[in-house]
């Protein structure tokens, strides 16, 4: 049955719409904590009906009644990607939920290791509410203002699961969505710029890389009518200078939203630029060598999702992001936890002999310099292969249509080489070569170095 015709579901959504979006503004810290405790308890009880969790908890000798709230969360074992894979498909859903009611989504697999989990319609709605909450902070009203969202609508992705398979067929005529333009980030930037130009949104959401492309096009005279008030960047860490470049080109304020396939929305930047965790929807832990880190110290993100009837996500250790928490308050007065910095994917990083770990935020920084310093987007695709701690190979695909415009390929290559050398030091050899194409399925960052042989000393 279509859940949007089900009165119980509708009333749940309406209730959620009225209360959930505002929760971080309305609840004080103490009430929010109570809410979180209650929902964690509920999720752990629910997870006990899901074989993968049931088995893990039994083995660890922990029972749902041992969990009174967030303070007890460390009693629960961590759950890995491997655990979920091993029990997929039947073992990752509750015996109390019918599988037809769930939608399967996969993580993007930038490392070549994708993971499938299940979500339900309510998850999808909550995911959207997370977005709406972000809009609320910026005074955007999705019933009045036009919004463009450039998502990853390749068939397997979460966004396709959430939007095209889950939400769109159900909500086709809903007022809530009529002001939203959905575009596909896999399309050519030129097509996207034209679509946005026709729609004239006040708000644009998209991946950092695509936003960079759009800014370069705008600077070249495309998209004359595009003048959003706000731009939200997702997907990867936005480098400061690229951020400034995009802001200047569009004359708009840009902020970042942070989320994951497994959890939906996680955090967003308020007007002060501080990351606020959606603490009513998720609980975050930050661990280094198994211990919680101090404020502002980078640690491995451990994620717990506090809602949903799909695959539970409780103490999940495979988001693979390095994130530093901020133990304090923001002047804006929103309740919930704070994040100081998101460093990026730790499994997409490269390690060097002195224990330095080069994180994706650094790659982003280097490649975005090509956009705003060399003013070119002729790099169509790139793959970085670390052969050893002293040797890196970078393969580049050049956009044929742009080959003879702007700086030469040689110039770009020497620019890249110099920037990488500055980051990782002169002792590492860097080879850059042009290739015709790169296999779409292939991870974009590959390291052949056995990481277990090195102790991480610092993140760069």
Residues that bind Zn ion (CB under 5 A): 270, 272, 274, 330, 332
Closest separation in Å from C-beta 328 to Zn ion: 11
Return d(Cα 352, Cα 116) in angstroms, integer: 32
**Which residue in 135, 121, 360, 361 sits closest to 264, CA to CA?**
121
Pairing type for strands 321-326 and 350-351 reads: unpaired
| Residue found by looking up tokens 């609840």 in the block | 27
Return d(Cα 444, Cα 152) in angstroms, integer: 16
In degrees and rounded to multiples of 5, residue 431 shows phi and psi of: -110, 130
Closest separation in Å from C-beta 134 to Zn ion: 12
Q: Which is nearer to Zn ion, 107 or 269 (CB)?
A: 269
Closest separation in Å from C-beta 329 to Zn ion: 9
Q: Which is nearer to Zn ion, 246 or 270 (CB)?
A: 270
Q: Which is nearer to Zn ion, 119 or 338 (CB)?
A: 338
- C-beta separation of 79 from 100 below 8 A: no
Contacts for 28 with CB less than 8 Å, ≥ 6 apart? 335
Closest separation in Å from C-beta 133 to Zn ion: 13
Closest separation in Å from C-beta 428 to Zn ion: 39
Closest separation in Å from C-beta 298 to Zn ion: 21
Q: Which is nearer to Zn ion, 28 or 452 (CB)?
A: 28
Q: Which is nearer to Zn ion, 10 or 332 (CB)?
A: 332
Q: Which is nearer to Zn ion, 9 or 230 (CB)?
A: 230
């Amino acid at each position: 049955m279509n859940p949007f015709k089900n009165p119980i579901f509708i009333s749940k959504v309406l209730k959620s719409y009225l209360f959930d979006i505002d929760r971080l503004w309305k609840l004080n810290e103490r009430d929010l904590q109570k809410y979180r405790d209650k929902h964690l308890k509920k999720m752990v009880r629910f997870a006990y009906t899901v074989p993968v969790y049931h088995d893990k908890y039994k083995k660890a000798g922990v029972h749902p009644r041992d969990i009174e709230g967030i303070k007890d969360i460390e009693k629960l074992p961590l759950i890995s990607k491997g655990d979920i894979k091993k029990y997929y498909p039947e073992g990752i859903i509750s015996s109390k939920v019918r599988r037809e009611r769930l939608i399967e989504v996969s993580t993007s697999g930038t490392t070549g290791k994708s993971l499938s989990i299940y979500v339900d319609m309510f998850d999808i709605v909550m995911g959207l509410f997370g977005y709406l909450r972000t809009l609320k902070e910026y005074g955007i009203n999705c019933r009045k203002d036009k919004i463009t969202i450039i998502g990853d609508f390749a068939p397997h992705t979460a966004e396709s699961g959430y939007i095209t398979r889950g939400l769109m067929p159900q909500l086709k005529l809903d007022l809530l969505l009529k002001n939203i333009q959905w575009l596909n980030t896999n399309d050519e930037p030129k097509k996207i710029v034209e679509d946005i130009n026709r729609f004239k949104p006040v708000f644009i959401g998209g991946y950092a890389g695509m936003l960079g492309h759009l800014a370069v096009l705008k600077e070249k005279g495309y998209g004359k009518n595009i003048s959003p008030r706000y731009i939200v960047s997702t997907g990867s860490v936005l480098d400061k200078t690229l951020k400034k470049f995009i802001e200047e080109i569009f004359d708009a304020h840009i902020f970042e939203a942070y989320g994951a396939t497994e959890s939906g929305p996680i955090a967003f930047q308020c007007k002060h630029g501080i990351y606020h965790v959606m603490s009513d929807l998720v609980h975050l832990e930050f661990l280094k060598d198994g211990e919680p880190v101090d404020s502002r110290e980078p640690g491995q993100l451990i994620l717990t999702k506090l809602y949903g009837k799909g695959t539970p996500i409780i103490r999940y250790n495979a988001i693979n992001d390095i994130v530093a928490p901020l133990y304090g308050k923001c002047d804006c007065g929103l309740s919930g936890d704070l994040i100081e910095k998101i460093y990026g994917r730790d499994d997409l990083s490269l390690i060097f002999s002195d224990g330095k770990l080069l994180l994706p935020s650094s790659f982003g920084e280097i490649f975005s310099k090509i956009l705003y310093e060399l003013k070119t987007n002729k790099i169509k695709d790139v793959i970085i292969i670390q052969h050893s701690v002293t040797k890196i190979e970078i393969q580049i695909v050049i956009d044929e249509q742009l080959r003879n415009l702007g700086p030469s390929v040689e110039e770009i290559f020497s620019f890249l080489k110099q920037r990488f050398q500055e980051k990782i030091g002169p002792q590492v050899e860097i080879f850059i070569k042009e290739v015709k194409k790169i296999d779409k399925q292939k991870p974009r960052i590959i390291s052949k170095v056995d990481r277990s042989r090195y102790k991480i000393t610092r993140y760069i």
